[in-house]
Structure 1
Amino acid sequence: MRFDQTLRAGSAGLSLIMLSALAQDAPGVASAAPAAEGPTTAELHQLRQELAEQRALLRQLREALVASRGAPPAAAPHVEGWETASTDGAGPPVSSPLRRPLHPALLATMRGGGPAAPSQPQPTLPQPGAQQGAAAVVPAAPAAKAAAVGQAPARDARPPEVAPLFEAPGVLTARGGTVLEPSFGFGYSSSNRVALVGYTIIPALLIGLIDVREVKRNTFTAALAARRGLTNRTEVEVRVPYVYRADSTVSRELFTGTAVERVFETSGRAIGDVELSLRHQLNDGGIDKPYYVAGLRIKTRTGRDPFEVVTDCTRRCVGENATGTGLPLALPTGSGFYGVQPSLTWLFPSDPAIFFGSVSYLHNVKRSNVSRRVLDGATEPLGEVAPGAVVGFNFGIGLALNEKASLSLGYDHSAMGRTRQNGVNVPGSVRTQLGTLLMGFSYRLTDKRTVNVTVGAGLTRDTPDVSLSVRLPLAF
């Protein structure tokens, strides 16, 4: 609307200028100005040149207005010689005065007076951007501030970063980026076992063997993970762990003529099971909109499996005529089975917190013709062994303490199925529930260096009592 008013005002001004010029140049026409000497021939020639320039500018404005029909008011085109300005912040921008000042005779005619006297000094033309002199061309408008017309920065469609609690990170690696993440983990667990082998004559009398054991287990894991961003939504990861385990078993067999506790110690160190992972972001989230990340993890059996280590048995460890304790003389560092684990992770930003969680299902591939090694180089055939599947879920909340530090709290739960041997549940194998309460802290050292610390406390008897992990992702 203001743009049209500007054009109409400019056209009216041109009409007045042309009528005045024609009246002064035509012979026999009386001048309406007071008695004064009119402009010279050179000044009239300069006047006509400036009129031609003003007419060309108005033509450009008219073409720009036609081209801008249907466009948002804030996107009005910029025409050379005009500046874009905002009125009061509530309406579309209007055109400011012309950059080039008009001739004094034109100014006097447009203001309603006669031509300027030639005795007035001619002003020097200012450089572009200086104070303008043709303010009468534009309708009066409130004082305004220059409005910067620009483009908003592109929004990052990736999920926000939180202090990691679980194995899978929430933020994917950018396209072409590489992240190396060395990590160190420690876990400690202790459990008590009471085994009653015999028969009872009455409920208060047991004839047989009472075996009481206390097992203390320490596990140290050093790993190196490498992640590569294939696209802004897809990344691949390779993780290589090195595991050191040390177990101490304290036992005392009652009714055997001894009151001395025996300690059986064993350890093992070797590479663990190498893992390959693929993650893909499914959607574009945002404030109050969740992000979904699908993942697929493949676990190999590169570590030393439980069937490769030698057990403390002379001939047999199960069934009748069992000899020895059945405890391994060296500890395994791998599970001994291939595994495939699909998962789905979600993140929900809700200022100032970020809620996150995931669900997963781990399928362990069964093995056939499995045998166990015992003392003297003998083997004990076990047949087909199929570990139970693991169904897991976790959830948590992340809080940003400042621009560098963040804190996360979460809970992780896994339900492990029963192990089957030759199609039958292994005696003593039951469904196991593992629950862990986690707290994580993250601090950004530089733009490409971050340190993450996670502490876990076991909530069930089968879960490690305490776990601690430190990660140092390095972006390249």
Structure 2
Amino acid sequence: MKKEALQTAGALCCSLLALTSGMANAEGMQHATPDQQALQRQIAEQAEQIETLKRAVAEQEANLAKLRRAVAGDTLDIQRGRGPENAVSQSQARQPAPAAPPAPAQQTAQANQANTAAQTNQAGGLPQREQQESRPAEVAQIFEQPGVLTPTGKYVLEPSLQYSYSSANRVALIGYTVIPALLVGLIDVREVKRNTVTAALTGRLGLTNRFELEARIPYVYRYDSTVSREIATGTAADQTFNASGHNIGDIEVGARYQLNDGGVDKPYYIGTLRFKSRTGRDPFEVVTDCSQRCVGNTTGTGLPLQLPTGSGFYSLQGGLTWLFASDPAVFFGSVTYLHNFKRTNVSRTVLNGEREFLGSIEPGGIIGFNFGMGLALNDKTSFSIGYDHSSLGRTKQNGVNVPGSVRTQLGTLLLGYSYRLNEKRTLSVAVGAGLTRDTPDLTLSVKMPISY
């Protein structure tokens, strides 16, 4: 369309120039009448307008080339849905305005440019409805950390609510054995049911297209029920011990940086760094149900009377996230390592306000990895499936491994679904099923990121 317009404009310009030249030659032979002079001035003005139109068309072609490069660079953002807003509208907003030709010519050039841009976008695989809205569909977020970064100057507020349920059986042998089949003492059988609800507000700010900052403030509510029966005590009655706790959790801050450009058949790599504080209620500060020292004590339940809401340790986590677009799906995953900093002079509170000195405590590091796939079902809905695994190291007390502390494996299968409510809000729901005995049986989370 642009080439035809240029050819037509060029032919018209040549005709007008020839007519102008003929009129000039005629003027050389005899003086032009007032009507001829007015016609000559009109022809000269139209020639200038045609030249202006040609320059505007050339600028539009240069802008279109930049637009194509921008669309190619933002293809992953469009598919993943966590990156910039519509790449077409954002790229056009960055282009300088061309010189303004007369109204009819300007409308023609703009119509040709719009048609060409629409054809280019459709050829690149972008849905027509997606170009009309400022924010594309999002792939459901199932892991804690998002993939694609927040655009420059934009910020996202993400309220979330997560529910977790787990149950476990525990058998405690208190006594000694004469032979393997005969126990002298008590057998304490416990069934623990744990419910945890975490409401959090997360904020993300894009400083550049490659770098963003994040902060997360959680509020935790926990409720545990322990059902136990002491066997061989002459009673068949179950005893129930309930405990709860609610308070602010551990506040986290983090940063993410995109390491490469990525593109077609090239993955994107994003480095992550996260720091976790100790703002939640410390597990060593809550009162434990023991009449005296819990170690080696057979009185009391040994359980906290009020549940903690934080881990009690500062932590630093580093990781690498990768994303690979393969139309119509996006594959993603990450590898992380979390280090818990050691605490010294630790003691815990038992009944009657007494303190039990524990010395130095150092939790083991956590090695984690996850992977998944996101698939856009249409321009508003998407589906994700993934697997998350964490390996927790042994805890040390005074430099020695705590008896009974072993490396723990946590595996979770995750399914997620998201629906875009409008241009700025998206509702995401994820459900997780524990695949190992130490993993929570069920996790259910709801998130609604709001972009500004």
| TM-score range relative to shorter protein | 0.7 to 0.9
Deviations 1:130-150 (A, max 9, x none): xxxxxxxxxxxxxxxx99845
- Alpha-carbon distance in 2 for matches of 1:278, 1:150: 36
Say which structure, 1 or 2, has more relative contact order (CA 8 Å, 6+ apart): 2
- Matched position secondary structure for 1:172: coil
Q: 2:341 aligns with which of 365, 390, 405?
A: 365
Matched, 1:256 2:168: no
Matched, 1:468 2:390: no
- Alpha-carbon distance in 1 for matches of 2:5, 2:185: 102
**Retained in 2: the 8 A contact 1:315–1:322?**
no
Deviations 1:223-250 (A, max 9, x none): 0111111111111111000000000000
- Which residue in 2 is equivalent to 1:332? 308
- Which residue in 2 is equivalent to 1:188? 165
Deviations 1:81-139 (A, max 9, x none): x96249xxxxxx99777242856x98xxxxxxxxxxxxxxx9x99x88xxxxxxxxxxx
Matched, 1:405 2:405: no
Seq. identity, %: 64
Matched, 1:100 2:13: no
Q: 1:83 to 1:416 in 2, by over 3 A?
A: closer
TM-score (norm 1): 0.71
Q: 1:389 aligns with which of 359, 365, 377?
A: 365
Matched, 1:217 2:197: no
Deviations 1:28-85 (A, max 9, x none): xxxxxxxxxxxxxxxxxxxxxxxxxxxxxxxxxxxxxxxxxxxxxx999xxxxx9624
Q: 1:150 to 1:95 in 2, by over 3 A?
A: farther
Deviations 1:354-374 (A, max 9, x none): 000000000000100000100
| Greater mean deviation of Cα atoms: 153-162 or 283-292 | 153-162
Q: 2:267 aligns with which of 273, 285, 290?
A: 290
**Retained in 2: the 8 A contact 1:179–1:474?**
yes
**Retained in 2: the 8 A contact 1:83–1:96?**
no
- Matched position secondary structure for 1:98: helix
Runs of 4+ in structure 1 over 6 Å off: 93-97
Matched, 1:426 2:415: no
Q: 1:247 aligns with which of 224, 233, 247?
A: 224
- Which residue in 1 is equivalent to 2:6? 84
Letter matched to residue 335 of structure 2: V
- Which residue in 2 is equivalent to 1:236? 213
- Which residue in 1 is equivalent to 2:324? 348
Letter matched to residue 291 of structure 1: Y
- Matched position secondary structure for 2:369: strand
| Unmatched segments (≥5 aa) in structure 2 | 23-35, 44-56, 82-138
- Matched position secondary structure for 1:239: strand
- Which residue in 2 is equivalent to 1:16? none
**Would you tell me which structure has more helix in proportion to its own residues?**
2
Letter matched to residue 6 of structure 2: T
**Retained in 2: the 8 A contact 1:84–1:96?**
no
Q: 2:391 aligns with which of 415, 435, 447?
A: 415
Q: How does 1:167-178 map to 2 (within 5 A)?
A: 167-178=144-155
| Unmatched segments (≥5 aa) in structure 1 | 1-73, 77-81, 87-92, 107-121, 129-145
| Superposed displacement of residue 204, structure 1 | 2.5
- Alpha-carbon distance in 2 for matches of 1:392, 1:197: 36
- Alpha-carbon distance in 2 for matches of 1:75, 1:195: 83
TM-score (norm 2): 0.74
Matched pairs, number:
362
Deviations 1:422-452 (A, max 9, x none): 0111111111000000011111112211111
- Alpha-carbon distance in 1 for matches of 2:279, 2:154: 28
- Alpha-carbon distance in 1 for matches of 2:339, 2:18: 85
Q: 1:149 to 1:322 in 2, by over 3 A?
A: same
Q: How does 1:190-205 map to 2 (within 5 A)?
A: 190-205=167-182
| Superposed displacement of residue 304, structure 1 | 0.3
Q: 1:302 aligns with which of 271, 279, 288?
A: 279
- Which residue in 1 is equivalent to 2:242? 265
Letter matched to residue 100 of structure 1: L
- Alpha-carbon distance in 2 for matches of 1:85, 1:414: 66
- Alpha-carbon distance in 1 for matches of 2:61, 2:343: 67
Q: 1:94 to 1:394 in 2, by over 3 A?
A: farther
- Alpha-carbon distance in 1 for matches of 2:433, 2:11: 68
Q: 1:448 to 1:83 in 2, by over 3 A?
A: closer
| Superposed displacement of residue 167, structure 1 | 1.0
Please tell me whether Structure 1 or Structure 2 has the larger radius of gyration of its CA atoms. 1
- Alpha-carbon distance in 1 for matches of 2:390, 2:316: 15
Q: How does 1:31-50 map to 2 (within 5 A)?
A: none
Matched, 1:151 2:127: no
Letter matched to residue 307 of structure 2: L
- Which residue in 1 is equivalent to 2:110? none
- Which residue in 1 is equivalent to 2:252? 275
